[in-house]
Amino acid sequence: MSAPSQSLAEHDRLIAKLESIGTLTLEERAAIKALPLRVRQIAEDTDIVRDGDTPTESCLLVEGFLCRYKMLPDGGRQILAIHTAGDIPDLQSLQLKVMDHSLGSLTPCKVAFISHAALHDITRAHPGVMALFWRDTLIDAAIFREWLTGVGRRSAHQRIAHLICEIHLRLKVVGLTDDDGFELPITQAELADALGLSTVHVNRVLQDLRRDGLIASRGKFLAVTDWRRLEQAGGFDPRYLHVR
């Protein structure tokens, strides 16, 4: 059994993520290792940047789960994306100066802020790094398309099975899964906000998936006990994640 690599240094986390979707030369790896980072611990349910902000740095997620979300006037929340270690969820603020949504923590997180100046420097000096950031942004858009398809046309069962498959695979390619599962310390209310469901429906479907032997839970650890049937239940085709 391969232990999840929780202790990767901040720069290595970014390198692992970029190398899951492309290749880096030795020079590009060295340039990433030299990026100045400002490392912070963030409590759960904490905003990092808010809708309307004009940030001057972007945030590399080192440990934990972040989400991008929008609030509605009636207090409702739509979670637009769930981010895993190695992601830079607000990379877009490098080009789009005003945030059109918020970024916050779902769990306690370790994050590393990278100044926009440093990101501009590395992308000018290393077009290969820029190409991988662009590729990552395009994959981000592919994930949005998949989520939109799910919210619009998938059943509650399919949406939840699909999201579990997606998070499992995204964590796996950066070495953060155990052999049979992963830590998913996300509440049912947060899953509901991500999937456009009620917490009641989320709870029912999770219990169905457990009863049918597709998943099992041990505290915050979610074990995928029948990957093939879970993929079928969610109609999951990993092509949109474009992993190497």
Give yes or no for a contact between 48 and 117, defined as CB atoms under 8 angstroms apart.
no
Angstrom distances, CA of residue 166 to CA of 41, 48, 124, 129, 188 = 26, 24, 32, 25, 17
Phi, psi of 91 (to 5 degrees): -60, -30
Q: Does 203 bind another protein (CB under 8 A)?
A: yes
Q: Which is nearer to another protein, 140 or 208 (CB)?
A: 208
Nearer to another protein, 78 or 115 (CB): 78
Give the residue, chosen from 180, 208, 212, 226, that forms a contact with another protein under the rule CB under 8 A.
208
Q: What is the DSSP letter of 6?
A: T
The residue range among 37-45, 113-121, 141-149, 195-203 that interacts with another protein, by the rule CB under 8 A, is 195-203
Member of 23, 25, 54, 207 binding another protein (CB under 8 A): 207
In the complex, minimum distance from the CB of residue 200 to another protein, in angstroms, rounded to a whole number: 5
Stretch that binds another protein, among 25-33, 50-58, 197-205, 228-236 (CB under 8 A): 197-205
Q: Where are the beta strands (DSSP E) in the chain?
A: 38-42, 47-49, 57-63, 66-71, 77-83, 102-105, 109-115, 181-183, 215-218, 221-224
Residues in contact with another protein by the rule CB under 8 A:
76, 192, 196, 198, 200, 203-204, 207-208
